[in-house]
C-alpha cells in the first residue's frame, strides 16, 4: 500500500500545508495510507485530518517513518547533513546550482532516497501541475509596497507577519500607503501573464497602484531595460532559468533611476540565472528588505515563503491543484512522478 507521510514544517514562519483534510479523505478512499504529523504551527488544525481517517504522528517524527513511506512537505529540511533514505516530495531548490541544493542532493545520494521536487512536477506539456505563484505574487507585491511606504516616511520596512486573509491585507496596506501622503508609485511587473505576475498585478490594482505589465514579448530583446528604472517599484515574477535576461544589472544601484523598491518575488539570488543582480541573499519576515543603496535609496524584498503570509487561502488553493497528482501516487514510476524522478536522476548523475 502506498503510504504518504505529511510532515510538519520546520522552517520558521511556515504555516502552510500541501494537503487539506478533504484531500486526505480522497486519498484514503483511493486506498492510500495517510499519516499526518501533529504541528504546532500548521494553519489547518489537526482535527480535520483525524476526522478524515489519517493516522496522526508526533511532530517532526518523519526521520523514523517506515522507509517505504513517501515524506511530503513544502519547505526545506533541516540542514544537518543526515543521509536521506526516503522518497521526499518538497521544494528542493536544488537544480540551479544553489550550494545548499547540491548538499541536499548529496544527502539523497548517500542513502538512496529520491526527491520529487514540487517545482518540477509537470504535465506532458512541461507545465507545472500546481504552484503557489498567485499568492506569492499577491503577498510579495504587498510587502514591496509596504517597503515603499516606509521609504516615504524616511525609514525601512519593519517585520511582517501572517494576515487573516486577502481582504484584511488589502485594507491594511491601503491605509498604510494613504497615511504617507505621497502619490501612489507606478509599478512594472515582469512575468505579468503568469500566476505570480497575476497575483502581483491584482494586489497593485487593489490598492490603487498603476501597473505596467510585461511578459515574454516585452523582454525578448534581452535588454537592457531602462523602463524598469523609470518605475518606482519593480516586481520580478519570472523564474530564474538559463537564458533569462538581466532586468536589474549591478550598476543600477548608482544609475539615474526612479526605482526605489524591488520585489524579487521569484527570488533565487544564489542562482547563476538570477535576473536581479543588485543583491545576493534572501530576506526574512523579521527583516523583509535589504537596503542595497542609500543615495538614492534602493531596497530589495526577497522573501522565499511569501504565500505563508496568507496560509489558509494559499494552502487550500495549492492543495486543490496538487490533489489529482497525489491520487496517482500508487504508480510513482509514470506520469508526473516518473518525470520528476527522471529530473532527479539527471541531477544526481551530474554531482
Q: Are residues 338 and 195 in the same domain?
A: no
My answer on whether 150 and 293 are in the same domain is yes
Whether 48 is covered by a domain: the verdict is yes
| Together in a domain, 160 and 243 | yes
Residues 208 and 244 in one domain: yes
Grid look-up 491594511 returns 172
Beta strands 261-264 and 289-294 are unpaired
127 assigned to a ligand binding site: yes
SS3 23: helix
215 is in an annotated binding site: yes
* 169-200 CB burial, b ≥16 within 10 A, e <16: bbeebeebbeeeeeebbebbbbbbebbbbbbb
Query: What gap in Å lies between CA 202 and CA 137, rounded to an integer?
Result: 9
* pLDDT per position as a tens digit, 303-342: 998 999 999 999 999 999 999 999 999 999 999 999 999 9
Q: Do 156 and 178 reside in the same domain of the chain?
A: yes
Give the integer Cα–Cα distance in Å for 189 and 202: 11
Query: Would you state the pLDDT for residue 241?
Result: 85
Q: Is 104 annotated as a binding residue?
A: no
| Average pLDDT, integer, range 268-278 | 90
So what's the pLDDT on residue 296?
A: 95
pLDDT-based confidence at 96, cuts 50/70/90?
A: confident
| Number of domain units in the chain | 2
Domain of 28, in residue numbers: 3-119+310-349
Please check whether residue 174 is in contact with residue 160, taking contact to mean a CB–CB distance below 8 angstroms. no
Q: Please report, for the domain that includes residue 286, its CATH number.
A: 3.40.50.720
Cell 488553493 belongs to 317
Handedness of CA 268, 271, 273, 276 (dihedral sign): positive
* 55 and 103 assigned to the same domain: yes
Asked whether residue 100 falls in the same domain as residue 206, the answer is: no
178 and 279 in a common domain: yes
Tell me the CA distances in angstroms from 3 to 31, 117, 164, one per residue in order: 9, 18, 33
Helices (H), 182-302: 195-206, 216-219, 226-229
Q: 255 and 199 share a domain?
A: yes
User: Is 167 a known ligand-binding residue?
Assistant: no
Residue 125 in any domain: the answer is no
Catalytic residues: 75, 93
In a domain, 126, yes or no: no
* 103 and 224 belong to one structural domain: no
Amino acid at each position: 500500500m502506498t503510504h504518504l507521510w505529511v510532515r510538519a514544517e520546520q522552517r520558521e514562519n511556515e504555516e502552510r500545508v500541501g494537503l487539506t483534510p478533504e484531500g486526505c479523505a480522497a486519498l484514503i478512499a483511493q486506498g492510500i495510507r495517510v499519516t499526518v504529523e501533529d504541528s504546532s504551527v500548521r494553519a489547518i488544525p489537526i482535527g480535520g485530518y483525524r476526522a478524515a481517517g489519517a493516522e496522526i504522528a508526533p511532530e517532526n517524527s518523519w526521520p523514523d517513518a517506515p522507509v517505504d513511506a513517501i515524506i511530503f512537505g513544502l519547505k526545506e529540511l533541516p540542514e544537518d547533513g543526515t543521509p536521506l533514505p526516503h522518497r521526499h516530495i518538497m521544494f528542493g531548490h536544488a537544480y540551479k546550482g544553489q550550494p545548499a541544493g547540491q548538499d541536499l542532493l548529496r544527502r539523497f545520494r548517500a542513502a538512496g532516497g529520491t526527491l520529487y521536487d514540487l517545482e518540477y512536477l509537470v504535465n506532458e506539456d512541461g507545465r507545472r501541475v500546481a504552484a503557489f505563484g498567485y499568492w506569492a505574487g499577491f503577498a510579495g507585491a504587498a510587502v514591496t509596497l509596504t517597503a515603499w511606504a516606509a521609504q516615504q516616511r524616511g525609514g525601512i520596512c519593519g517585520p511582517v507577519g501572517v494576515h487573516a486573509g486577502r481582504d484584511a491585507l488589502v485594507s491594511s496596506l491601503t491605509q498604510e500607503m494613504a497615511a504617507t501622503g505621497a502619490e501612489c508609485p507606478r509599478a512594472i511587473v515582469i512575468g505579468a501573464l503568469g500566476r505570480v505576475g497575476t497575483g502581483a498585478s491584482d494586489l497593485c490594482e487593489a490598492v490603487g497602484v498603476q501597473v505596467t505589465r510585461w511578459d515574454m514579448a516585452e523582454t525578448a530583446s534581452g535588454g537592457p531595460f531602462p523602463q524598469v528604472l523609470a518605475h518606482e517599484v519593480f516586481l520580478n515574477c519570472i523564474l530564474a532559468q538559463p537564458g533569462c535576461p538581466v532586468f536589474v544589472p549591478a550598476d543600477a544601484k548608482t544609475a539615474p533611476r526612479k526605482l526605489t523598491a524591488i520585489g524579487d518575488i521569484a527570488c533565487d539570488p544564489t542562482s547563476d540565472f538570477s535576473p536581479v543582480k543588485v543583491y545576493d541573499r534572501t530576506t526574512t519576515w523579521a527583516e523583509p528588505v535589504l537596503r542595497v543603496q542609500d543615495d538614492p535609496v534602493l531596497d530589495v524584498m526577497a522573501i522565499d515563503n511569501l504565500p505563508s503570509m496568507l496560509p489558509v487561502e494559499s494552502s487550500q488553493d495549492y492543495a486543490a491543484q496538487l490533489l489529482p497528482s497525489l491520487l496517482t501516487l500508487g504508480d510513482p514510476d509514470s506520469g508526473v512522478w516518473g518525470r520528476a524522478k527522471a529530473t532527479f536522476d539527471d541531477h544526481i548523475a551530474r554531482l
